[in-house]
Structure 1
Amino acid sequence: MEKIIKIGTRDSELALWQANKVRDGLEKLGCRTEIVPVKSDGDIILDKPLYELGITGIFTKTLDVAMIQGKIDVAVHSMKDVPTALPKGIVQAAVLQRADTADILVHKGDLSFLEHSGTIATGSLRRKAQWLHRYPGHTVENLRGNINTRMRKLQDNDWQGAIFAAAGLERISPFAGTDLNPEHRTPLEWMVPAPAQGAMVAVALEKDTYSQSCLSKLNHRETEICTYIERQFLRVLEGGCTAPIGALATIAGDTVSLTGILLSPDGRQKLSVKKEKSLNNYHDLGSICALEILDRGGKEIMKHIKSHQPGPGPNGKAPAKT
């Protein structure tokens, strides 16, 4: 008798949507499944930005432990939250087809503040740095919580706007309040997304060949290639610390291209790169772009960031990613 695949997920609405997306795909393949919600520290600690929590993989650690302990067979994550190095014994089993990669400014109707002074909110160091680079006279406030919570905070404060991932808004809108599908939305086409933004990944134990075999049928090859390149760019650049890094790979015909950026946290310094390669020779594209950034001044930016970031906490973990 085939086993029931226990799918672990954070218990936020968005995370549950993602887990159910994987469950539906597996069920259509004839696999038996069960959703197992697991509370994570990242959903509990809301008074600090992610990059100040001092724990690597804040949204994935709890599920990793549950999987190693045998409580779940599969974990489903927003891929941008997953550390570039998976824990020993856990492997990437499927990357689902990517949704919209864009960042969205949700505002209160009047965009005239963009030409003057203004205040927007985000909990992302990457978004903050890019915003301040483009609008150096603005103020950026910290904003944490699930999408519903962040929308309420936007309405309750005198901020002009807040930045959200388009994919998150699209996924949660069908079963949430109408305020999650606001009319006042402006795509930030100039903002480079986080590596793997808009993609979902399912991981399993390396020894669990049954779950891996089932999940492999859900894998979207183009998304897998693009997120591999983006995460390679991130891994080579960051060197174990958190920094404002953006990356987006795209495929057109037989060519894959990568746009990557590194900024100082205050947005004053920005280094960017764009390169392309043949689709049959993409494996080092992320690394090549990252090394060019480092050679053009990125080493100095990263050195400065590392010297100003909190060191490992009492559990020996490095600072969290954003």
Structure 2
Amino acid sequence: MAKTIRIGTRDSELALWQAKTVEKKLNDLGYKTEIIAVKSQGDIILDKPLYELGITGIFTKTLDIAMINGQVDIAVHSMKDVPTALPQGIIQAAVLERANVLDILVHKGNTDFLEKEATVATGSLRRQAQWWNKYPNHTVVDLRGNVNTRMQKLNDNHWNGAVFAAAGLERINLKPENFISLDWMIPAPAQGAMVVLAMGNDNYTIDAVAQLNDIETEICTSIERQFLKTLEGGCTAPIGALAKYNENDDTINLKGVLLSIDGKQKLEIEKTVDISEWKKIGFNCAQEILNNGGIALMAEIKKVLKK
């Protein structure tokens, strides 16, 4: 008898939307499914910035344990939240077709503050560092919680705006009228992509989920995550990467950035290679950054985060 594939997810509205999207795709292929929602530490501890919690994969750890313990068969995540090194026994079973990769600034109807002193909220060191690099006179405050919680906090405070991933707001119809697309901000590696993890020894589930994989998204996110991993940055380091496939000439373009936490130092790289070279470009670009000041900058970042 065909088994029911148990889908593990966080219990936020966005996470449940992602799980239900995977569920529908599996159901359409004829598979039986069940959604099992759990709370992660990242959702429970909201009064500390992520980097202060000292755990990479804080949003994914709870589901990893549930999978290893046999409580769920797969876990659905925003791929940018997933550490580059997966726990032993767990594999990447599919990456779904990518949505909007951009960060957006949600504001309150007036953007004059961009030219003055202002307060902007984000819980991401990458967004904070890039914001300070462009707007050094602004104050950046910490903003934690799921998407709905963060939108409510923006409404409840006197902040001028807050930075969000466009994809998350679009998926649950929360994207407001008052926003600016931050096309100058390099997104988190794998931003806008959803990943499905499974146990490496569960062939039935792996075969089912593999049918959801989008090869272009898989390649581009793999490049970005390789760039991140080579720089030795956890999910919380100020690192951005975006790879794009150009079908006109069969090439891959990668933009990568590493910043100091205060945004004053910025190491950037952009390269385009033939698609046949895709497995090397993330590593090579990260090595170039490391060799041009990145080693010292990463050491400084780690020192600041340990305080």
> Who is 2:150 aligned against?
150
> Who is 2:223 aligned against?
229
CA apart distance, 1:281:
2.0
- Contact 1:243 / 1:264 at 8 angstroms: preserved in 2? no
Q: Which amino acid aligns with 2:76?
A: V
CA apart distance, 1:308:
2.0
CA apart distance, 1:181:
3.0
1:289 maps onto 2:276 in alignment: no
**Partner SS state of residue 92, structure 2:** strand
Matches within 5 A, 1:1-322: 1-173=1-173, 180-238=174-232, 242-253=236-247, 254-310=250-306
- Contact 2:49 / 2:142 at 8 angstroms: preserved in 1? yes
For 1:228-271, what per-residue CA distance to the aligned partner results, in whole angstroms no more than 9, with x for missing partners? 00000000002568420000000002101100000000000001
- Contact 2:119 / 2:138 at 8 angstroms: preserved in 1? yes
CA apart distance, 1:36:
0.6
Alignment RMSD: 1.1
**Partner SS state of residue 306, structure 2:** coil
Cα distance between partner residues in 2 of 1:241 and 1:146:
16
Cα distance between partner residues in 1 of 2:233 and 2:27:
40
Q: Which amino acid aligns with 2:10?
A: R
For 1:24-67, what per-residue CA distance to the aligned partner results, in whole angstroms no more than 9, with x for missing partners? 00001101110011111111000111111111210000000000
Q: 1:11 to 1:242 in 2, by over 3 A?
A: closer
- Contact 2:166 / 2:175 at 8 angstroms: preserved in 1? no
Cα distance between partner residues in 2 of 1:109 and 1:239:
36
Q: How many corresponding residue pairs?
A: 305
- Contact 1:25 / 1:218 at 8 angstroms: preserved in 2? yes
CA apart distance, 1:196:
0.1
For 1:157-213, what per-residue CA distance to the aligned partner results, in whole angstroms no more than 9, with x for missing partners? 11100001000000111xxxxxx2311111001000000000000010000011000
Segments of 5+ residues of structure 2 without an aligned counterpart are none
Segments of 5+ residues of structure 1 without an aligned counterpart are 174-179, 312-322
Percent identity over the alignment is 64
- Contact 1:105 / 1:163 at 8 angstroms: preserved in 2? yes
Cα distance between partner residues in 1 of 2:137 and 2:164:
21
For 1:120-142, what per-residue CA distance to the aligned partner results, in whole angstroms no more than 9, with x for missing partners? 00000000000000000000000
- Contact 1:79 / 1:197 at 8 angstroms: preserved in 2? yes
Cα distance between partner residues in 2 of 1:194 and 1:150:
18
Cα distance between partner residues in 1 of 2:121 and 2:236:
19
- Contact 2:56 / 2:236 at 8 angstroms: preserved in 1? no
Cα distance between partner residues in 2 of 1:121 and 1:270:
21
Q: 1:232 to 1:147 in 2, by over 3 A?
A: same
Q: Which amino acid aligns with 1:186?
A: I
Q: 1:12 to 1:250 in 2, by over 3 A?
A: same
Cα distance between partner residues in 2 of 1:66 and 1:278:
40
Cα distance between partner residues in 2 of 1:100 and 1:14:
15
Please report the TM-score for the alignment, with normalisation by the length of structure 1: 0.93
- Structure 1 residue ranges (4+ consecutive) displaced by more than 3 angstroms after TM superposition: 239-242
**Partner SS state of residue 242, structure 2:** strand
